[in-house]
Amino acid sequence: MAPKKNKTAKKSKGDINEMTIMVEDSPVNKINGLNTLLEGGNGFNCISTEVTDKVYAPNLLEGLSNMRQESFLCDLTVATKSKSFDVHRVVMASCSEYIRNILKKDPTLQKIDLNDLSPVGLATAITYAYSGKLTLSLYGIGSTIAAAMLLQIGTLVKMCSDFLMQELSVENCMYVANIADAYDLKETKKAAQKFMRENFIEFSEMEQFLKLTYEQISDFLSDDSLSLPSELTAFQIAMKWLDFDEKRLKYAADLLTHIRFGTISAQELVNHVQSVPRMMQDPECHRLLVDAMNYHLLPYQQNILQSRRTKVRGGLKVILTVGGRPALTEKSLSKDVLYRDTDNLWNKLTELPAKSFNQCVAVLDGFLYVAGGEDQNDARNQAKHAVSNFCRYDPRFNTWIHLTNMSQRRTHFSINTFNGLLFAVGGRNADGVQASLECYVPSSNQWQMKAPMDVPRCCHASSVIDGKILVSGGYINNAYSRAVCSYDPSTDTWQDKSSLSTPRGWHCAATVADRAYVIGGSQLGGRGERVDVLAVESYNPHSGQWS
């Protein structure tokens, strides 16, 4: 017999389906298979990273803008008195806080009337809402700002504000200032006014300058930071504005009170101010001129005559060097007066009347005072060359004047200002170390002797604190000292105070807030050599202690 053939078993329909599922290569199975590899550990970490499609947001905005232009799915109408616009409420509500608040109250609202806006302003705001971009110009920016402010679109207001500040020029600065004032754009108004102050001469030559109101030009001329080459220029600009319209002449006296005639030299007052008819014909204007002339005729009275009209505009605080010895190796003395400008460059001013070394300087009522010191560089006998010279520098005119000399020659002393007076304390001269104190009264140009210290001292330092002059350290009885004393100008008396923790001389003293500080100086080392003192000490007038 022939062998029987093996018949393949007939598979059920269910079996076929099961097999199909097992061999199916679906995307889900691929993902699951990859995840199995990760879970099995393959030597790398799996982390999550946020990625961004940079063109998605612009494309979305472009799509929404196209839909609005096609009026596709628009569900809100915003309208001015003369024109209406179909928009998407979700877009406008997301951009405008004003529209969002209205729709919160009534989400079914179909139309919002904005009758206070111009069609151009509303159209510009809608364009911004759908694109975040605008083409701005000074011509129509007012309507754009009005729309942005009513719709409460803060970013659009800022964009307009930044544009105005960016476009500032001499030709349009007044227009920008007026726009900023009308819409209460404080930052823009501040920037426009600053621009006009810094470019005031160029601005004064523009037609817009002559259209300033009295209040506006008055504000400019009363400003300390107004940028001008001289106060005479300010006077000439004021007269230009006054002469433009006869009706303005009633403001002459009031406007000219903002001119600082005291900072105009006497020669310029005669040549350029007195020659203006109004300054002689108008009694109030003439009084301003007379006051300025008297100020110049009475130099010793100027301290008590100081006022806003004698103060320069835009003054800078600078560091000055006055006289001294140019270098350690040089024996010759200098008359140079130098100041460091904002570029850290040193510039020369008018020289001292005489060479000096180890002099004291002080600032009072806007003047620089230089007192005493030595007129020769003699290291072996410095006290022998002490002088009593006293002079004053006026930074407004870059000039010096001689004042009454001190009653005693002094070097290695200290000088302080208090209550409009100057006090010269101690020091030494050919007669030895001094205990004396003298006080300069600017209004009389005289020195007055005051109660002396209990002990002569030199090479000390002093500062004013709590209404008293605190004198610290120095050289007493041929030795560096820790001793401290205090002078009370109101009673003309001295009082001993707590001593320094370290003897020192040739040091500096300064008052900051409610503390007096002593810094640096020298003392004697173990072998009698001169060594630096590095410690800084602070005095508390309330506890009377140093720390």
Q: What would the pLDDT profile of 33-63 be if each residue is shown by its tens digit?
A: 656 655 555 555 667 888 888 988 888 888 8
- pLDDT at position 26 is 65
Cβ(217)–Cβ(255) under 8 Å? yes
Tokens 């009363």 identify what position? 222
Task: State which of 28-32, 327-331, 491-495 shows the largest mean pLDDT.
Answer: 491-495
Number of other residues whose CB lies within 10 A of the CB of residue 346: 11
Q: Indicate the domain borders of the chain.
A: 56-167, 212-304, 316-429, 459-546
Stretch (H or E) spanning 393 = strand 390-394
Let me know if domain 56-167 sits in CATH 3.40.640.10: no
Q: Is 417 exposed, middle or buried (0-12, 13-18, 19+ CB in 10 A)?
A: middle
The number of CA neighbours under 13 Å toward the Cβ of 108 is 0
pLDDT > 70 in the chain, percent: 91
Res 57: pLDDT: 87
The gap between the terminal CA atoms of the chain, to the nearest Å, is 127
316-372 residue pLDDT tens = 888 999 998 877 666 778 899 999 988 899 999 999 999 988 999 999 999 999 999
Indicate whether 380 pLDDT > 60: yes
Instruction: Give the residue-averaged pLDDT of 399-412.
Output: 97
pTM of the model: 0.77
CA distances, 251 to each of 213, 241, 393, 508 (Å): 11, 10, 36, 52
Q: pLDDT for 70-129, tens place per residue?
A: 889 999 999 999 999 999 999 999 999 999 999 999 999 999 999 999 999 999 999 999
**Residue 11 in this model has a pLDDT that exceeds 90:** no
Q: Is 233 exposed, middle or buried (0-12, 13-18, 19+ CB in 10 A)?
A: middle
Burial label for 120, CB within 10 Å (0-12, 13-18, 19+), is middle
Q: What is the DSSP letter of 324?
A: S
Among positive and negative, which fits the CA dihedral 428, 451, 464, 440?
negative
pLDDT digits (tens, 9 = 90+) for 173-201: 999 999 999 999 999 999 999 999 999 99
Average per-residue pLDDT in the chain?
90
**Hey, what CATH topology would domain 316-429 get?**
Neuraminidase (2.120.10)
Res. 532: pLDDT tops 50: yes
Query: Averaged over 274-297, what is the pLDDT?
Result: 95
Burial degree of 316 (CB within 10 A; 0-12, 13-18, 19+): exposed
Q: Report the pLDDT value the prediction gives residue 227, as an integer from 0 to 100.
A: 86
Tell me the CATH architecture of domain 212-304. Answer: Alpha Horseshoe (1.25)
- Return d(Cα 79, Cα 229) in angstroms, integer: 54
Letter string b/e over residues 8-39, b meaning 16 or more CB atoms within 10 A of that residue's CB: eeeeeeeeeeeeeeeeeeeeeeeeeeeeeeee
Which pLDDT belongs to residue 332? 77
Q: What is the mean pLDDT of residues 217-240?
A: 94
